[in-house]
Chain A
Amino acid sequence: MQVLLINNDGGGFADYIEVPDGASVQDVFTEKVGNRPASDYLIRVNRQPCASQQILQEGDRISITPTKIEGAG
């Protein structure tokens, strides 16, 4: 099945990818981000917070975006 993935790492990505039926959010995160700390990312499905074990459905939008962006003068 296909889900839309949005991810800023690497070359940046916003496109449909093929994932196996029954794939979880964690599966996609591990495949696309590797072993980076999950706390460095906000992971949402269809713009909503999600559990890592949530099973993805056909057409879901999964976004993996950076967290804790702060600057100081």
Chain B
Amino acid sequence: MLRFSPTAWAKLLFLRDYGETEVGGFAITASEDLLFVRDLKLVRQVCSWAHVAFEDESVADLFDEQVDAGLRPEQFGRIWMHTHPGNCPLPSQTDEQTFARVFGQSEWAVMFILARGGKSYARLQMNTGQGASLRIPVEIDYSQSFTGCDHESWESEYLTHVQSHNSKTLFNNQDEDAIDFLENEFRFDLWDETDDFLSQTQRQEERNDHDD
């Protein structure tokens, strides 16, 4: 099972909904549980509404920073995350090609996709021995304390790492109506969903307190 701390999940939703493009990054996991996501980090990337490409130098910078912080590569380089527009979190052919080429040499890796509509997809790939590939459930672990939202630093991280392709360039100015449709179709209200999540977290924490 892929577990998220409530704070990591809140950050993921914030980053997903901050702009109108896809966004991606790496999960940062606990040393004692490599499938427990306690944070996520963006790298510099160029994104459009349905595509995300990381800058190679920035990936290398992330590895340097995390090693300097005392983490092992399996804590920050194995869970590749990105978002999808609409409501389909299933991997595209591009996703599969990247996952096989980039993460196929590691002993294991996870591809995690979160769609704007809320559905998610996580697949664990084991590359040792016979190899194995399995869908794994995704859970927010409400037993972990919610350390709150840090919108200011999340926003700063987003703004310094995500470069948006102009959607009009993407579509080559051929069909302005189609662009308007897509932009409206994939526009979601950031605060509504984050607020929903926060009140859900609060309710769960109240239940936990009650149980205690």
Answer yes or no: B140 CB below 8 A from chain A CBs.
Answer: no
List chain B residues, Cβ under 8 A from A69.
Answer: 24, 53-54, 59, 80, 98, 102
Task: Give residues of chain B (48-85) contacting chain A, Cβ–Cβ below 8 Å.
Answer: 49-54, 56-57, 59-61, 63-64, 67, 72-74, 77-78, 80, 82-85
B120 to chain A, nearest CB (A): 13
Query: How long is the Cα–Cα vector from A30 to B70 in the complex, in angstroms?
Result: 26
Query: How long is the Cα–Cα vector from A6 to B107 in the complex, in angstroms?
Result: 15
List chain A residues, Cβ under 8 A from B95.
Answer: 71-72
Assess A42 versus B73: contact at CB under 8 Å? Given A6-B67, A68-B102, A73-B51: no
User: In the complex, are the beta carbons of B52 and A65 less than 8 A apart?
Assistant: no
Query: How long is the Cα–Cα vector from A36 to B102 in the complex, in angstroms?
Result: 11
* Binary flags per residue of A1-45, CB closer than 8 Å to B gives 1, else 0: 000001111111110000000000000000001001000101010
Assess A73 versus B50: contact at CB under 8 Å? Given A11-B107, A40-B102: yes
Answer yes or no: A66 CB below 8 A from chain B CBs.
Answer: yes
B121 to chain A, nearest CB (A): 12
How many residues on chain B are close to A (CB under 8 Å)? 40
Partner of B51, one of A10, A12, A61, A70: A70
User: In the complex, are the beta carbons of A73 and B22 less than 8 A apart?
Assistant: yes
List chain A residues, Cβ under 8 A from B57.
Answer: 42
B151 to chain A, nearest CB (A): 25
Assess A36 versus B94: contact at CB under 8 Å? Given A6-B64, A70-B53, A71-B52: no
A13, closest chain B residue (CB): B73
Assess A70 versus B54: contact at CB under 8 Å? Given A8-B77, A9-B106: yes
Answer yes or no: A67 CB below 8 A from chain B CBs.
Answer: yes
B131 to chain A, nearest CB (A): 14
Given A72-B22, A72-B95, output 20 extra A-B contacts at Cβ < 8 Å.
A6-B63, A8-B78, A8-B105, A9-B105, A12-B74, A33-B105, A42-B59, A47-B60, A47-B64, A61-B64, A63-B63, A65-B59, A66-B56, A68-B98, A69-B98, A70-B52, A70-B53, A71-B22, A71-B92, A72-B52
Residues of B at the A interface (CB closer than 8 Å) are 22, 24, 49-54, 56-57, 59-61, 63-64, 67, 72-74, 77-78, 80, 82-86, 88, 92-95, 98, 101-103, 105-107, 113
15 contacts between A and B (CB under 8 A): A6-B63, A7-B73, A8-B106, A14-B73, A40-B102, A47-B60, A63-B63, A66-B56, A67-B56, A68-B98, A71-B94, A71-B113, A73-B49, A73-B50, A73-B86
Residues of A at the B interface (CB closer than 8 Å) are 6-14, 33, 36, 40, 42, 44, 47, 61, 63, 65-73
